[in-house]
Amino acid sequence: MQVNLREHWRIGAVEIPTRLVLAPMAGVSVQAFRRQGRRYGAGLVCSEMVSCSGIHYGNERTLGYLRIAEDERPLAVQIFGSEPAYMAEAASTVVAAGADIVDVNFGCPVRKVTKTGAGATLLDQPDRACRIVASVAEAVSVPVTVKMRRGLENGARTCLELGPRLVDAGAQSLTLHPRSARQMYTGEADHRLTGELVELVDVPVIARTGAAAVMVGRAAQGNPWTLSEIVDGTAVLPSRADVAAELILFARETVKELGEQRASSFLKKFYGWYLRRGRFPRPFVQELVRLDSTEQVVERLLVAEPAAAAALARLEAEAPDSEGTLVPLPISAYGGG
């Protein structure tokens, strides 16, 4: 199926301005990353996974994931867990915090998630999976969506059996990662499954190809320009000044969100994602990783690429102030900076 990625579309009553979705990624999809994705053309952005147990027990870091800004909406907040009642409670909380869509994770293959009975494990527990979706859909008035894999084992076609049942239970969109949980993020994805799933359900299917919308994940890490390329079909080659300026803005927004101590550690992986690809030499990236603070990183970037100062000024003038666009959070703990 060929689609115009600039077309508006809907999940339930939520209108989405482009058919490009920025994937939820654990340890990556902080608010600064999501807001950046919206600036570069993503019509829908997603939070990283939020634990329903963490919400139930008031974990401060978990509640910190519910920091939402108006300029990142529409936003899907992804929740994970294995108990229908806790998942329904979590759904109500994230909607109260400003989520436009509640996304249920049935795809995470990571052991610390699957050992709790959550994530991809639920693909082999179809009755429980359907109860979870039904409980969440009953608890909230916004659309409920599901992200899943093809199945637990290589060659599985579980998604084709489970997908229609999840729609019957209340899911208004499905996202398919057509790898098995066993594959993790390696090997080939079987995109033929996407087309088969599209034929089986009457709700939008999100995938990499052959669906109503395209989801992009790791390709956008440190490279938001790829989102513009995908939406517009035109190659974008950012200058070194553009790259340095975008990284500085991202770092400063992340410090606002997480605080200096957490942000300094969190950002280290992003330096390589932004600055390699032939943009800056490897020794320079390694130097930044060793610095003690984000402001030292900013100073070093501006010395290495002085033209980044003007590019940064333009970005800051165009980007909304996150402090001025926050959705009021109806809970006391932020867990951030």
For residue 194, the domain's CATH number is: 3.20.20.70
Check residue 330 and give its pLDDT: 43
Check residue 332 and give its pLDDT: 34
What's the pLDDT tens digit per position in 133-190?
999 999 999 999 999 999 999 999 999 999 999 999 999 999 999 999 999 989 999 9
Domain that holds residue 316: 240-324
Check residue 223 and give its pLDDT: 96
Q: Is residue 272 domain-shared with residue 179, that is, in the same domain?
A: no
Provide the number of structural domains found in the chain: 2
**Which of helix, strand or coil describes residue 11?**
strand
Q: Is residue 269 domain-shared with residue 199, that is, in the same domain?
A: no
Judge whether 169 lies within some domain.
yes
What's the pLDDT tens digit per position in 61-102?
888 889 898 999 999 999 999 999 999 999 999 999 999 999
Judge whether 192 lies within some domain.
yes
Q: Is residue 142 domain-shared with residue 159, that is, in the same domain?
A: yes
* Strand residue runs (E) in 66-134: 75-80, 101-106
Judge whether 336 lies within some domain.
no
69 DSSP 8-state letter:
B
> Residues 300, 280: contact at Cβ < 8 Å?
no
Check residue 67 and give its pLDDT: 87
Which whole number is the average pLDDT over 203-226?
93
Judge whether 331 lies within some domain.
no
pTM: 0.91
Judge whether 334 lies within some domain.
no
Q: Is residue 225 domain-shared with residue 303, that is, in the same domain?
A: no
Check residue 323 and give its pLDDT: 58
Domain end (from 232, 253, 279):
232
Cα separation, 249 vs 8, whole angstroms: 28
Q: Is residue 190 domain-shared with residue 63, that is, in the same domain?
A: yes
Q: Is the pLDDT of residue 31 over 80?
A: yes
Q: Is residue 59 domain-shared with residue 200, that is, in the same domain?
A: yes
> What token pair was written down for 264?
């300094």
Q: Is residue 72 domain-shared with residue 216, that is, in the same domain?
A: yes
Judge whether 333 lies within some domain.
no
Contacts of 121-125 with CB under 8 Å at 24 or more apart are 121/82, 121/152, 122/82, 123/148, 123/149, 123/151, 123/152, 123/156, 123/158, 123/159, 123/162, 123/181, 124/151, 124/152, 124/158
Which whole number is the average pLDDT over 33-44?
96
Q: How far is CA 73 from the centre of its chain?
A: 12
What's the pLDDT tens digit per position in 51-62?
999 999 999 888
Judge whether 337 lies within some domain.
no
What's the pLDDT tens digit per position in 107-138?
999 999 999 999 999 999 999 999 999 999 99
Check residue 229 and give its pLDDT: 95
Check residue 97 and give its pLDDT: 93
Among residues 54, 121, 150, the alpha carbon closest in space to that of 93 is found at 54
What rounded mean pLDDT belongs to the chain? 92
> Residues 187, 224: contact at Cβ < 8 Å?
no
Q: Is the pLDDT of residue 335 over 60?
A: no
Domain end (from 232, 266, 286):
232
The one-letter amino acid code at 130 reads C
DSSP bridge pairs for 148: 106, 176
User: What residues are labeled active site?
Assistant: 108
Judge whether 109 lies within some domain.
yes
Q: Is residue 46 domain-shared with residue 182, that is, in the same domain?
A: yes
Check residue 328 and give its pLDDT: 52
| Torsional sign, CA 76, 77, 80, 82 | negative
Q: Is residue 302 domain-shared with residue 157, that is, in the same domain?
A: no
Cα separation, 250 vs 319, whole angstroms: 11
Q: Is residue 97 domain-shared with residue 14, that is, in the same domain?
A: yes
Domain end (from 181, 216, 232):
232
Q: Is residue 182 domain-shared with residue 102, that is, in the same domain?
A: yes
Q: Is residue 155 domain-shared with residue 225, that is, in the same domain?
A: yes
Higher-confidence residue of 163 and 233: namely: 163
